[in-house]
Amino acid sequence: MFITWQGRALAAEVRKVERLKIGYASISGNRISLWAAQDVGFFARHGLAAELVFIATSAQGMPALLAGDLAIFSGSPETAAQAAVRGIDLAIIASNEPTQYKLIVQPGIRSVAELKGKKIGIDRVGGSSYYATRRMLEKLGLKPEEVEFMQVAGGGIQRAAAFGSGVLSAVVTTIERLERAKIPYHVLADAIGMGVRIIGSSVITTRSFRDRNRNIIQGFVRALTEAIHWTKNPKNREGVLKVFSRNLRTDDASVLGLNYRLYVDPLPLFPYTNMEDLRSNLTDLAESNPKLRELNLSELVDNSFVQRVEAEGVATPR
């Protein structure tokens, strides 16, 4: 549902300016809605003086959230789930679309059989790229124990760099990182096309912050959703490319265009957390943390803020 910006008359949930420190893990095009909400002014329109803080990994971001250094953190929902089963009061209030993971191999490799005994880069054993890689290999007929998993600290950019150096024969990551670095590669398989849907990132806060500041959280989710609608409007393509350029720190037109195709077209209009996708992800993680099988996702995931935005309609500037 669309209504004009003037028609809503800027009826923001939050009237006074609230300072909001928001952390996010990984510099990737899947952050476009968060970046647009900040750069285009959607947060400000809802009374939020937001500060975006890059934190390399979810493993580093979660302690900052729990310590109160961040009000909101955009990172791995699996990390949030693992904390939740330890009794930590967390709430997932929104999520991105599934990560555009590809199984990337060196140019000379043309079949999955050629990966036997080879090194494949992952973030860490138990991380999202690890389970995505395992599931993709299994669907391709290769047992995980037939390859060597190599942990590369620091995130997707570092995995891409390790792949580019020739240390790795394969890596599961998103292709824009390789394109930007001009690293030769071959795509052996597409995760989403194979039915391997790994939630890219989720918006996480503590339940205590949510309960004390419901208007702030509602304003945040509304601003994020308006940014999504703005981003997906083809009339704003040039503006979206500028947001990509500023935050990815590149003027390479081919890289910017690739990010637009990868991350704008598949972006859902409303950032609901898909419970089935999350449950599937946690099934893998439960191998190393059986307590995850007992986790009540309805207590962790709170889609009510997105539901309210959808019910009330989305204000978009002309």
Give the contacts of 138 (CB within 8 A, at least 6 positions apart).
144
203 and 312 co-located in one domain: yes
Residue where a domain stops, chosen among 178, 194, 210: 194
Q: Is there a single domain that holds both residue 242 and residue 115? A: no
Sign of the torsion angle spanned by Cα atoms 24, 26, 32, 33: negative
86 and 204 both lie in a single domain = yes
What is the predicted pLDDT for the residue at 102? 93
Q: Which of 89-93, 126-130, 140-144, 188-192 has the lowest mean pLDDT?
A: 126-130
Asked if residue 285 and residue 247 are part of one domain, the reply reads yes
Average pLDDT, the chain: 90
- Report the share of the chain in percent with pLDDT over 70: 94
Q: What is the pLDDT of residues 96-133, one digit of tens each?
A: 888 889 999 999 999 999 999 999 999 877 777 888 89
* 129 and 275 assigned to the same domain: no
Nearest to 23 by CA among 75, 79, 81, 97: 75
pLDDT digits (tens, 9 = 90+) for 67-96: 999 999 999 898 899 999 999 999 999 998
What are the backbone dihedrals phi and psi of residue 122, each rounded to the nearest 5 degrees, phi first? -135, 165
Residue 292 sits in the same domain as residue 204: yes
- CATH number for position 120: 3.40.190.10
Question: Are 297 and 177 members of one domain?
Answer: no
pLDDT higher at 239 or 9: 239
- pLDDT at position 13, please? 41
My answer on whether 91 and 27 are in the same domain is yes
Together in a domain, 56 and 92: yes
* The pLDDT value given to residue 285: 83
Sheet strands (E) in 90-210:
90-95, 102-105, 119-122, 148-151, 170-173, 186-190, 202-206
Among 163, 194, 225, the domain-final residue is 194
Mean pLDDT in residue range 169-178: 91
Domain containing 18: what range? 2-98+199-316
Residue 192 CB contacts under 8 Å (≥ 6 apart), including other chains: 98, 100, 101
Q: Are strands 72-75 and 90-95 parallel, antiparallel or unpaired?
A: unpaired
Q: Give the residue from 194, 218, 237 where a domain finishes.
A: 194
Q: Kindly state whether residues 309 and 239 are assigned to the same domain.
A: yes
Domain count, the chain: 2
203 and 298 both lie in a single domain:
yes
pLDDT at 3: 32
pTM: 0.86
Q: Which residues pair with 105 in a beta bridge?
A: 170, 186
Alpha carbons within 13 A on the beta-carbon side of 258: 16
Q: Any bridge partners for residue 205, and if so which?
A: 91
Are both 89 and 203 inside the same structural domain? yes
